[in-house]
Amino acid sequence: MTTRWIRGAAVATALAGGAAACSAPGGGEGGGGPADSVVIGVASEPDTLSPLLGYGKDGNSKIFDGLLTRDAGLRLRPALAKALPEVGDGGLTYTYTLREGVEFSDGEPLTSADVVFTYRTILDTKTNNTSRSELDAIKEVRADGDDKVVFTLKYPYAPFAGRTVLPIVPEHIAGKQDPNTGAFNTKPIGTGPYVLADWRKGEKLTFKANPTYWGGAPKVKTVTMAIVEDDDVRATRLRSGDLDGAILPPNLAATFDDDENKKTYEAKSYDLRTVTLPTAGKVTGDRAIRRALDAAVDREAMVDKILDGAGRPAYGPLPVDDPWFAKGIERGQDLAKAKRILDEGGWKPGADGIRAKGGQKAAFTLLYPSGDKVRQDHALAYASDAKKAGIDVKVESATWEVIEPRMKNTAVLAAGGSIGDPDFGLYTMLHSSLAGNGFNNMGHYDNPAVDHALDTGRRGQDEATRETAYRALQRELVKDPGYTFLTHIDHVYVLADRWQGLTTQLEPHEHGFASGPWWNLEDWQPKK
């Protein structure tokens, strides 16, 4: 999955109407099926299953492995590497020794050449990977024999090891194809615990256990990811037994509280709901409008009423319990302040209560993706709060195919958030150099002080320097908000209670295929 500000659990493909959503993905095996198979309802599907284009880059891909992985507490652990890296030359070199005996699912052995190929291809500007900037620190990657890989960095990059959870692909297959258009994008081969058996676009993906997986063959033999974009439909199918489990909004998950055959799992997350305020917009580009909206929004009410308490107010891109969060930027709704800011900015109330300046009404459109009830509710609450300050926000739903070409000039109820290090999520969201780069910096935010803080945080060699930079960045976003930060949501999952070994991690925005109670699916055991 990518860390881009994108379409839900992954890069979504909208379902055409309800017919596909109502077909039984598991051939009737949902709910009461055998304990060695599971059918899970997720909100969206990826455009590609190739790590060369960004799939699985934050770890937990079931088809692939990275050099490292994260455990339940998000600590880095060896995966394809036999140990954590040896760091040398003042933090400029990272050396990994590969685990012995690892094979791709086609039987070919993993070598250092596969690792080098993977990273070099992603770093190649001809490859359409919009997460390339996350590997900016790499100067060179080379093989040292068949079992060692050495990364040389341009500058010491404190969280670099966390970037090496990126999945490794086989050079003997992917190297013979165009990374942007090749068959590998939909027919991947990896070293992971599962192999892709079938992909019916817009309906489901089916995975089979890899019997030769280096970590041991999984006990859950068949996994189906049913693509069900609509939250209500997902809940209905789970209740009917068509699905074994699903990710659900908190209010829908609560309807299963009395079902003794279902178990609810809640995961804290960095998953942010926010409104992009494009600098190119006639209204959203005005700093007074942006600051007024920040003051007008009632974040606490959104957590209570929309999320049923399963979340936290968002005062910036980092959640309040993150160790890098800048204490003191917490702020409640202040309509008097919002109106004062607009008055001082020249936005005067009209007869209808909507403000105007130089003949321009304080009105703009806010788009949200169709079928996403949580975003819809956030958008409607946001519009209601804005109107109390004299700003008219027109809420519209649309598919991502419609939203994408409009997002440079039109506000979007967006989502994002990455685990591991502040650099992982903030740089792509805020740095001006990435404005308009795919779903990075969707609103074309441009603030030199924020850019400086991001660059300092990325290149800082000690934690104190980095901490100062990121806290300065968060305070600058209060003064010059390019987004209206709303909530950090908890992820809630409901599953049939037929397995043991299920846990959750602290999760990023991207969830569904990777995060969730199935992050360690290969370790599940059927209940006796």
d(C-alpha 78, C-alpha 389), whole Å: 53
- Which of the residue ranges 20-29, 313-322, 327-336, 436-445 would you say has the lowest mean pLDDT? 20-29
Place of tokens 């692939």: 64
Q: What is the mean pLDDT of residues 412-440?
A: 90
Phi/psi of residue 197, each to 5°?
Answer: -100, -35
**Cα 110–Cα 112–Cα 113 angle in degrees, nearest 5:** 90
pLDDT digits (tens, 9 = 90+) for 284-311: 999 999 999 999 999 999 999 999 899 9
Under 8 Å between Cβ of 188 and 182:
no
Q: Residue 61 — pLDDT band, cuts 50, 70, 90?
A: confident
The per-residue pLDDT for 34 is: 73
Higher pLDDT, 269 or 478: 478
Phi/psi of residue 384, each to 5°?
Answer: -65, -45
The per-residue pLDDT for 512 is: 64
pLDDT digits (tens, 9 = 90+) for 329-362: 999 999 999 999 999 999 999 999 999 999 999 9
Structure tokens at 499: 């397995």
- Which of the residue ranges 244-258, 354-368, 465-479 would you say has the lowest mean pLDDT? 244-258
pLDDT digits (tens, 9 = 90+) for 393-416: 999 999 989 999 999 999 999 999
- Which candidate, 485, 72, 124, places its Cα nearest to that of 290? 485
| Mean of the per-residue pLDDT values of the chain | 90
Q: Give the strand order in the sheet containing 363-369.
A: 311-313, 483-489, 272-276, 411-416, 363-369, 392-398
User: What domains are there in the chain, each with its CATH number?
Assistant: 1-45+201-266+492-528 (3.40.190.10), 63-187 (3.90.76.10), 272-489 (3.10.105.10)
Evaluate if residue 211 carries a pLDDT over 90: yes
Question: What are the helix and strand counts (H, E) for the chain?
Answer: 13, 24
The per-residue pLDDT for 316 is: 96
The per-residue pLDDT for 513 is: 67
The per-residue pLDDT for 499 is: 92
Q: What is the mean pLDDT of residues 23-29?
A: 39
The per-residue pLDDT for 511 is: 64
The per-residue pLDDT for 466 is: 93
CA 85 to chain CA centroid, nearest Å: 26
- Which candidate, 374, 395, 399, places its Cα nearest to that of 15? 399
Strands (E) located in 132-191 = 138-143, 148-153
pLDDT digits (tens, 9 = 90+) for 129-179: 988 888 989 999 999 999 999 999 999 898 999 999 999 999 999 999 999
Distances (CA, A) of 62 to 65, 114, 209, 522: 8, 18, 9, 8
